[in-house]
Amino acid sequence: TQLLEQSPQFLSIQEGENLTVYCNSSSVFSSLQWYRQEPGEGPVLLVTVVTGGEVKKLKRLTFQFGDARKDSSLHITAAQPGDTGLYLCAGEEETSGSRLTFGEGTQLTVNP
């Protein structure tokens, strides 16, 4: 059972376009993290959101945690080829201790 569902699974856009990636669950999370992974490397943490309704910005990336702490979104403004990569969301359930549950990922390709 996949606790975290990401959509879309694949996204190919042109440089300068905006996009949104979604991460949804029926479970409540005490925190939710977003990672980016480039080919041949391990995932790298981008941001952690903790409070329901929280919005965090990282340059052109905006992350939002749902009010009920069951979902999250990642919005990229004016995408650049350097944004290309696999974006993974990961949730920490209140009863899971130090474990994270990862979504399947969204493969983003930004074409110049």
* Chain positions contacting another protein, by CB under 8 A: 9, 30-31, 33, 40-45, 48, 50, 88, 90, 92, 97-100, 102-105
> Closest CB to another protein among 2 and 18?
2
Question: What is the chain's length?
Answer: 112
Contact of 23 with 6, CB cutoff 8 Å:
yes
- Least distance in Å: CB of 15 to another protein? 26
Q: Beta strands 44-49 and 85-93: pairing type?
A: unpaired
> Closest CB to another protein among 39 and 112?
39
> Closest CB to another protein among 43 and 85?
43
- Least distance in Å: CB of 107 to another protein? 10
> Closest CB to another protein among 45 and 78?
45
Angstrom CA distances, 17 to 39, 79, 82, 101, stand at: 22, 6, 13, 30
Euclidean distance between CA atoms 87 and 36, whole angstroms: 5
Q: Report the alpha-carbon angle 25-29-33, nearest 5.
A: 90
